Chain A
Amino acid sequence: MELCDLTIHELRGLYARKEVFPSEVLASVTRRIHKVEKDYGAYLTLDLEGAAEQAQAADARIKAGKALGVLEGIPVAIKDNLCQAGKEATCASRILQGFVPPYTATVVRKILAQGAVILGRANMDEFAMGSSTEYSAVKESKNPWDPQRTPGGSSGGSAVAVAAGEAIAALGSDTGGSIRQPAAFSGVTGLKPTYGLVSRYGLVALASSLDQIGPLTKDAEDSALLLNILSGFDPMDSTSVRVKELDYTRDLQQDLSGKKIGLPLEYFGAGIDAEVKRTVMKAVDLLKELGVEVVEISLKFTEYALPAYCIISSAEAGSNLARYDGIRFGKAAARIEDNLAAFYTRTRSEGFGPEVKRRIMLGTYVLSAGSYEAYYKKAQQVRTLIIKEFNEVFQQVDAIITPTTPTTAFKFGEKSQDPLRMYWSEVCTAPVNMAGLPAISIPCGFSCGLPVGMQIIGDHFMETVILNIAYQYQRVTDYHKARPEPVRKEGTA
């Protein structure tokens, strides 16, 4: 085991005892990056020099016995859609090439304030649209468990970085599953917090009413540690919620007996791979042994959740992405034409990839006169029903468990030519965003050597409950500690 394979909480212990220093950890991460990055492509840009400076500063603080931030000297990756002043943020899109934000996202500011060492910017599907990183305009990230396969997306680069030890932890964003799905595919822990718990200020928007920033980590304890830092009201984000400050590690140790978990039939039905189902059910059986009571429930609006999600997210995305017009920032069309409309058309035709264009067209269509009532409005009504249904279920259970994804990691090219099949990868996760609920995906076994993710969904602002369940499960299992083959070899070498 290399230092780069450790967790935040393990490193914090080592730092506290002055057994290891951040520069050593960074050196280990850097070695790993040099070894595997060319094959996996987790990052769009790396700033190892900047990271080294940050790590040395952390060394000094530790040596001087100064008060340490929660993330003091912890090397992390951030998704390329989070703004940091002075660092190019492209969202893996051609149209944002050269865009250097003059300001820093609230979450980035917060992790920096806690001493985090930022390694670089992780690859993603263009504007977070996609489930495989195949829609990145720059490159594909490879799944470390099988480089023939995608790591999932859109936070694929973040998931790969954590899975391969190219970062201790990473930040991602989740609109319909973009943290949990790649976490499941890549065998890491991914948390999507309750909508409004984490400020979106500085997150380049995909769909404003669904987007939420969250951590990708090696285990649930690290998720809780990061959530402690990321969460909190932000006056710069009107949709952020004033909730009581909470220590999300508080309930991790709690006994699970008496906890009631719902298994929704609809998430174990057609379209879900049998082996994935079986693996998740085995995990549920283990939870039973830990004292959890399991009941079958029904979430019958699930059937409509994905189509409604596609409509709402596309509508918001189409509008959010309208600002990329080549006038104020990013990449403009090579030749400025005399005609403004032609200039817009050319800039956007050259700048956006096919999936982004597809969603802009879909979004424009569902909001247009004559379609609004049938699509956008109907989808909003469905959304209200989904929220209501989840609320009712949470009257009876503490958490809901489902597979995170209908299949394990798929191969490159398998779905990228068929948008509907690609959208299907979010069938278990998108309803959660529609309801604004928190959910965590944790590794719960393997199918044909590929990680399987279990999704634990909680009630609004009940992150402590799902983190407790995830932590207790990870206490008695090792799936989250498993490392992909090439990484294992290097580790033992």
Chain B
Amino acid sequence: MRFDTVIGLEVHAELATATKIFCACTTKFGGAPNTQTCPVCLGLPGALPVLNKRAVEFCIRAGLALRCEIAKFSKMDRKNFFYPDMPKAYQISQYDLPLCRDGFLTLDCGKKIRINRIHLEEDAGKLTHSTGTERYSLVDYNRAGVPLIEIVSGPDLSTPAEAVEYLEKLQRILEYLEISDCKMAEGSLRCDANISLKPIDREELGTKTELKNLNSFKALSRALDYEIKRQSELLAAGQAVRAETRKWDEAKQQTLSIRSKEETQDYRYFPEPDLVPIELDPAYIAGIAKSLPELPDEKKQRFMADYGLPEYDADLITSAKRLAEFFEAVNAWYFNPKAASNFIMGELLRLLGEEQLKSAEIPVNPASFGDLLKLIDEGEISVSVGKQVFAQMFRTGAAPEEIIKAEGFKQISDETQLLAVINKAIKDHPQSVQDYLGGKEKAAGFLVGQIMRETKGQANPKLLKDLLHRELEKLKE
């Protein structure tokens, strides 16, 4: 029996607002437990929520970027359930009137994945359970009341790869909008997946399972792979798939049932009486639409068209908004897109990684970087010296000329000076010279290396090759 896979994702993104969704507490990550709380986010008796306008704006930004309709009339609702991480024993969320609905996201192959809805809600606190013999749990409400958006896709994804691509694109868009940090490891981007299989010739969808604890792209992909295998084996054996919530177990590399859907509780949603409905002026929405940045896919296409970058380069450089902006700033100063791209992909990303810096924290001035590219193009220094200079620019922030001057990095293009070094190398390495003369052309490469070392990489490479070749040919005679 052959099956179609049907996958839908529910993605939660923490919004990067300065304050929480219903109070003035900071949303900063990593504070000492329960220090970023107040009567409102602790759900103390008598405290009341006040909706953070920024959170609404961020949700609308996401909606507009994902081509959603923005509701002119919307409201917050209460989702009632008891759990110690939820101080009020209800979560303020949106039920039947989400802020955004009916949008889509386009995959690279052109397939449109529907976005059913995007709604605004509050995050819960964090529970820590004791591991020792004394049994207790601790709760930290610093995250309680941090604004979240939940983005619900249609059941339009057909493979784990599509699911990963969708999530990557979504992450990139939210990052471009500057509305979320989108870090899966820190939990600012979270993903649940619904997956079911149906026989190829059937119309109606099969029974789905909901997968949780997908803390990385790899976990998402593997959990879906596992679930496809598990469900298809069940179906092939004539057994039914149970409607249930399953958890991805990273250690065991498998999904485990945590509860059946029949046990699903009744959340008794009703309109939040402590908040007034959200009524949006079309002019306000239009203002937000106007302020949206160029989105990743558009930028990538433009980088390919305007800068002539290969798709691979364009994709990598537009993977982060600040990186793309840096690239454009460099080329605005000195235009050599491919050289800039090579340096960014090869050197800059490596150095950022080593220093654990974000693309918003590039310590290099784009104009200085442009100058560096220009010096290379003009033959002042070689590409390999350029890389050393770049590393110093990255660490010290100094201008390339200063570094070149201070380190004596200037390219040696003086023939007499070069010939002296070449002749020394020929004298010092008779065996290599013999090899070359005996027909082993590669031996010249060894000599180039020796000369480069001798000149600290400053020899003009083209001139060096020409001169070395000429000197060696002379010996043949």
Q: For chain B residues 133-167, which have a beta carbon within 8 Å of chain A? A: 135, 139
B50 at the interface (CB under 8 A from A): yes
A103-B44 contact, Cβ under 8 Å, with A325-B82, A325-B84, A364-B268:
yes
Q: Are B48 and A209 in contact (CB under 8 A)?
A: no
Q: Tally of A-B residue pairs with Cβ under 8 A?
A: 99
Is the Cβ of B270 less than 8 Å from the Cβ of A205? no
Q: Give the interface segment out of A53-61, A162-170, A235-243, A453-461.
A: A235-243
Residue pair B45, A368 in contact (C-beta under 8 Å): no
Q: Shortest beta-carbon distance, A335 to chain B, in Å?
A: 14
Distance (whole angstroms) from the CB of A473 to the closest CB of chain B: 34
Say yes or no: is A394 at the interface (Cβ < 8 Å to chain B).
no
CB of B26 within 8 Å of the partner chain: no
Residues of A within 8 A of B43 (CB): 323, 328
Query: Which residues of chain B are near A329, meaning CB under 8 Å?
Result: 44-45
Contact status A102-B84, CB under 8 Å: no
Q: How far is the CA of A208 from the CA of B88 in the complex (A)?
A: 14
Binds A, one of B199-207, B273-281, B337-345, B358-366: B273-281
Residue of A nearest to B39 (CB): A103
Known: A83-B45, A238-B48, A325-B82. A369 touches B266 (CB 8 A): yes
Q: Which residues of A contact B388 (CB under 8 A)?
A: none
Among residues of B, the one whose C-beta sits closest to the C-beta of A326 is B84
B110 within 8 A of A: no
With A315-B270, A322-B82, A376-B270 known to touch, is A91 a contact of B48 (CB < 8 Å)? no
Q: Judge whether B422 is part of the interface by a CB distance below 8 angstroms.
A: no
Interface 0/1 of A185-213, CB less than 8 Å to B: 00000000000000011111101110000
Mask of B238-270 contacts with A, CB within 8 angstroms, 1/0: 000000000000000000000000000010111
Q: What is the bound-complex CA distance between A327 and B139, given in angstroms? A: 10
Q: Is B90 an interface residue (CB 8 A)?
A: yes
A427 to B99, CA, bound (A): 39
Partner of B45, one of A96, A207, A235: A96
Indicate if the CB atoms of A322 and B89 lie closer than 8 Å.
Answer: yes
* B46 and A203 within 8 A (CB): yes
CA distance A102 to B40 in the complex (A): 11
B51 at interface by CB-CB < 8 Å: yes
Which residues between 424 and 475 of chain B lie within 8 Å of chain A, taking CB atoms? none
Check A238 against B276 for contact (C-beta < 8 Å).
yes
Closest to B83 in A: A340
Q: Is the pair B88, A200 in contact by a Cβ cutoff of 8 Å?
A: no
A367 / chain B contacts, CB cutoff of 8 Å: 80, 268-270
List the A side residues contacting B44 at CB < 8 Å: 101-103, 328-329
Chain B residues contacting A328 (CB-CB under 8 Å) are 42-44, 87
Q: Which residues of A contact B82 (CB under 8 A)?
A: 322, 325, 341, 344
Query: Are B50 and A236 touching (Cβ within 8 A)?
Result: yes
Shortest Cβ distance from residue B83 to the other chain A in the assembled complex, whole angstroms: 8
Asked whether any CB of chain B lies closer than 8 Å to the CB of A99, the reply is yes
* Contact with B268, one of A82, A101, A368 (Cβ below 8 angstroms): A368
Q: How far is the CA of A341 from the CA of B82 in the complex (A)?
A: 9
Q: Considering the chains assembled together, what is the distance between the CA atoms of A205 and B90 in angstroms? A: 14
> Chain A residues near B42 (CB, 8 Å)?
328
- Could you say which residues of chain B place their CB within 8 Å of the CB of A327? 84, 139
Interface centre among B48, B87, B269 (most CB of A within 10 A): B48
Please give me the residue from chain B that is nearest to A241 by CB atom.
Answer: B276
Indicate which residue in A102, A235, A319 contacts B50 across the interface (CB closer than 8 Å): A235
Contact assessment for B47 and A208 in the assembled complex, using a CB-CB cutoff below 8 Å: no
Chain A: interface secondary structure?
loop
Beta-carbon contacts under 8 Å, B97-126 to A = none
A134 at the B interface (CB under 8 A): no
Determine the residue in chain A with the shortest Cβ distance to B270.
A367
Please state if A238 and B50 are interface contacts (CB–CB under 8 Å). Answer: yes
A315 and B47 CA atoms in complex are apart in Å by 19
Contact B46 A323 (CB under 8 A): no
Q: Is A306 an interface residue (CB 8 A)?
A: no
B78: CB under 8 A from chain A? yes
Closest to B88 in A: A323
A160 proximity list for chain B (CB < 8 A):
none
Query: B45 near A322 (CB under 8 angstroms)?
Result: no
Query: Is A439's beta carbon under 8 Å from chain B?
Result: no
The answer to whether A316 has its CB under 8 Å from any CB of chain B is yes
Chain B residue with Cβ nearest A363: B268
A236, A239, A329 interface centre (most CB from chain B within 10 Å)? A236
Name A83's closest neighbour in chain B (CB-CB).
B46
Q: In whole angstroms, what is the CA distance A81 to B49 when docked?
A: 18
Residues in chain B near residue A236, CB distance under 8 A? 48, 50
- Evaluate contact between A208 and B274: CB separation under 8 angstroms: yes
B55-111 contacts to A, CB under 8 A, are 78, 80, 82, 84, 87-90
A16 to B328, CA, bound (A): 74
Known: A239-B274, A367-B270. A89 touches B87 (CB 8 A): no
Closest-CB distance, A121 to chain B (whole angstroms): 14
A208-B274, A239-B274, A327-B84 given; A105·B268 CB < 8 A: no
Residue among A102, A238, A323 making CB contact with B274, cutoff 8 Å = A238
Interface membership of chain A positions 66-90, coded 1 if the CB is closer than 8 angstroms to chain B and 0 otherwise? 0000000000000001110000010
Q: Is the CB of B48 within 8 A of A323?
A: no
B48, A200: Cβ atoms under 8 Å? yes
Tell me the B25-54 residues at the A interface (CB within 8 Å): 39, 42-51
Known: A319-B78, A322-B80, A325-B84. A91 touches B276 (CB 8 A): no
Query: A91 vs B45: C-alpha distance in the bound complex, in angstroms?
Result: 10
Q: Nearest CB to that of A96 among chain B residues?
A: B45
CA distance A327 to B44 in the complex (A): 12
With a cutoff of 8 Å between Cβ atoms, the chain A residues found around residue B273 in the complex are 207-209, 239, 316
CB pair B46 A101 closer than 8 Å: yes
A322 close to B48 (CB less than 8 A): no
Interchain CA distance A235-B40 in the complex, whole Å? 13
Q: Contact at B47–A201, with CB atoms within 8 Å?
A: yes
Q: Which residues of A contact B84 (CB under 8 A)?
A: 325, 327, 340
Complex-state Cα separation, A325 to B51, whole angstroms: 25
Interface residues of A in 306-338 (CB under 8 A from B): 315-316, 319, 322-323, 325, 327-329, 338
28 A-B pairs within 8 Å (CB atoms) are namely A101-B44, A102-B39, A105-B46, A200-B48, A201-B46, A201-B48, A202-B46, A204-B46, A205-B45, A205-B274, A209-B273, A235-B50, A237-B48, A237-B50, A239-B48, A239-B273, A239-B275, A239-B276, A319-B78, A322-B89, A322-B90, A323-B43, A325-B84, A338-B135, A340-B84, A367-B80, A368-B266, A369-B266
If A238-B274, A316-B270 are given as contacts, then 16 extra A-B residue pairs at C-beta distance below 8 Å, sorted by A number, are A83-B45, A89-B46, A103-B44, A202-B46, A203-B46, A236-B48, A238-B48, A238-B275, A239-B48, A319-B89, A319-B268, A323-B45, A323-B87, A325-B89, A329-B45, A368-B268
